[in-house]
Amino acid sequence: MRAPTTLVTVAALAVGLSGCSLAPRAGATQHVPSASAAAAGPARSPSGSVDCRKARCVALTFDDSPSVRTPQILDILRRYGVHATFFTLGKYHVVKYPGTVRRMAAQGHEVETLTWSHRILTEISPADVREEITRGRDAVATVIGRRPVMLRPPQGHTSPTVTAICRRLGMAQVLWSASASDYQTTDSALITSRILARTGPGGIILLHDRVDPTNRGYNGTVAAIPGIVSGLEARGYTFVTVTQLLAPSKPRPGEVYE
């Protein structure tokens, strides 16, 4: 009998860069599998669900969704039988591509929020923080009829004030443990190798679903996805949504997961 997955508090620091970059963050709750679970392969029930207390699970997430590239991403994920979690932007994204948002939900992906307009929550007033979160999640709810319960704070910046607001709004915060810094490069091979090197059991992968007209970054992400999926599956990983990763617990309002 394998020990259940535990939740521990960590203080994670990273260097903030441009775009939706890694940023300093503290007090995050990390989803850490037991040693025996880390060594195990996929553990599926007869219904096809995954028990991440027994399997080597990893969650694939995308920020800044949707864009004109999202249909390509959805095609790839469907081909590999992988479900992901999309953290969407309301302004110019959800409202512009509602059909794509509906397709995400129809294919079994999680549709959550990255706020309304990507304002940095630690740099604005509490009233504006609340508005950014509620407008972002309400934009999703209008399209798919389900209100998001998870927030990715833009650039990973959060604070006790933001956390308190999320708790009152019933929102958990989801950060990440593996980033390809795909806002810096268009090199798909480099993006793939970074994720393969940085991903561990119970990890949350950060990629971006964005088009960069300057061609400085983001434009290599789609082509990197097949190598990321096949590479991690070859190592015994099972791809799940963030909610599945946290099961049997549910995302707790105000909690910060990484």
Beta strands in 37-153 (DSSP E): 56-65, 85-88, 110-113, 150-151
Total residues found in the chain within this entry = 258
Please answer whether residues 183 and 163 qualify as being in contact, where contact means their C-beta atoms are separated by less than 8 angstroms: no
Query: What residue ranges in 180-257 does DSSP mark as E strands?
Result: 203-208, 237-240, 256-257
In the residue annotation, 128 being an active-site residue is answered as no
Out of 83, 93, 109, 208, which one is annotated catalytic?
A: 208
Is the bond into 66 cis (omega within 30 degrees of 0)?
yes
Among 12, 210, 255, which residue's Cα sits nearest to residue 118? 210
Annotated active-site residue 157? The verdict is no
Cα separation values, 253 from 54, 132, 165, 237, 250, Å? 25, 17, 9, 28, 9
Among residues 51, 63, 64, 209, which one is catalytic?
63
Q: Kindly list the catalytic residues.
A: 63, 208
